[in-house]
């Protein structure tokens, strides 16, 4: 099996929590000591983005045992951990500041949006114990997707039939984003098939996957440029057999997550016109195009289980690490 080069999916040690960590020992309340060997209970304070998910057993999908998830706030006084999703609390942080907090209960700040799309709140400093996000230096790292070793079935991958050169699916249009002027310039030199709410061409989930597969290249343009911020735009295109053309952080950051030969970065070209010329050349050279799929002989891409995976991996972290600490510099760590 070939090496993945510089690709590394290992979690970096989190160093953003500057408060001293105190080990839970005699200070643990008696009712907690009795429950330490029982299931760790995690309360989901709000459904992230209103997205409800089945609170299945964490052991089934992630081989994580001893966890129970709940959204019942009446259990607040008894649960070990509470997950707060930033988008759902950012407009009313003062409500959290007023809440009575059980001794040693851990609060987790969860955010899958980039700093550019998250309201900065200095009041969050000193309020949380753990972080959970797409960033590798989070306490609990849950990326939007990952590259994994291919099963025997996955190794039989065949490039899907193609009838489109370049595609882009966009939900929300914002002319202030870097990707919009790049798109305007790129389409002057190559045809781009556009879909999604931004273009009034909505797709069902089934149509979305079929469209991805039918395109030779997909514009995996992120809505903002931040370290480690690669979303489903990247991993879905890789999973369903198209070559992602990425606009986001530098190539070096991408290569820490995905094979170097699996994608095209806009920064590799002097201009959108030069990129368009490269895509056109690949369209005329099937052998060169297929080189972008050699990684599929040994690996495949998969997405995360949004919400559920976060809750399960947070529970696993809390079970493994009984110590208690306070995150005093969240705003500086996340927003700089």
Residues marked as catalytic: 113
Secondary-structure breakdown of the chain: helix, strand, coil percentages, each rounded to the nearest 5: 35, 20, 45
Token duo for residue 153: 């079935």
Q: Please give the structure tokens belonging to residue 246.
A: 């990425």
Question: DSSP state, 128?
Answer: B
**CA angle, residues 284, 287, 292, in degrees to nearest 5:** 100
**CB neighbourhood size of 63 (10 A):** 9
Q: Would you call 262 helix, strand, or coil by DSSP?
A: helix
∠ CA 290-291-293 to the nearest 5 degrees? 70
Strand partners, 226: none
- Residues with Cβ < 8 Å from 22, sequence gap 6 or more? 323, 324, 325
Structure tokens at 41: 């209970």
> How far, rounded to the nearest angstrom, does the alpha carbon of residue 215 sit from its chain's CA centroid?
23
């Amino acid at each position: 099996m070939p090496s993945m080069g510089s690709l590394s999916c290992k979690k970096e040690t989190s160093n953003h929590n500057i408060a001293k960590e105190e080990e839970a020992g005699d200070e643990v309340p008696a009712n907690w000591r009795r429950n330490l060997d029982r299931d760790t209970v995690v309360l989901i304070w709000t459904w992230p983005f209103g997205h409800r998910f089945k609170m299945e057993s964490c052991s089934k999908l992630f081989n994580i045992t001893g966890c129970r998830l709940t959204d019942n706030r009446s259990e607040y006084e008894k649960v070990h951990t509470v997950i707060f999703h930033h988008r759902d609390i950012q407009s009313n942080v003062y409500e959290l500041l007023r809440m009575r907090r059980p001794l040693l209960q851990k609060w987790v700040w969860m955010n899958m949006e980039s700093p550019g799309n998250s309201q900065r709140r200095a009041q969050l400093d000193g309020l949380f114990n753990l972080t959970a996000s797409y960033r590798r230096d989070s306490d609990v790292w849950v990326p939007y997707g990952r590259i994994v070793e291919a099963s025997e079935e996955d190794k039989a991958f065949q490039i899907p039939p193609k009838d489109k050169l370049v595609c882009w699916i966009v939900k929300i249009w914002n002319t202030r984003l870097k990707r919009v002027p790049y798109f305007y310039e790129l389409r002057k030199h190559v045809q781009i098939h556009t879909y999604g709410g931004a273009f009034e061409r909505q797709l069902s989930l089934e149509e979305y996957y079929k469209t991805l597969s039918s395109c030779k290249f997909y514009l995996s343009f992120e809505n903002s440029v931040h370290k480690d911020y690669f979303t489903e735009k990247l991993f879905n295109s890789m999973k369903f057999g198209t070559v992602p053309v990425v606009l986001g952080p530098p190539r070096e950051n991408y290569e820490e997550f995905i094979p170097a030969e699996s994608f095209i970065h806009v920064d590799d070209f002097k201009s959108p016109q030069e990129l368009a010329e490269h895509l056109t050349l690949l369209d005329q050279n099937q052998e060169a195009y297929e080189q972008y799929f050699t990684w599929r002989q040994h690996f495949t891409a998969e997405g995360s289980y949004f919400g559920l995976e976060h809750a399960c991996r947070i529970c696993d972290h809390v079970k493994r690490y009984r110590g208690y600490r306070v995150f005093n510099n969240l705003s500086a760590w996340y927003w700089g």
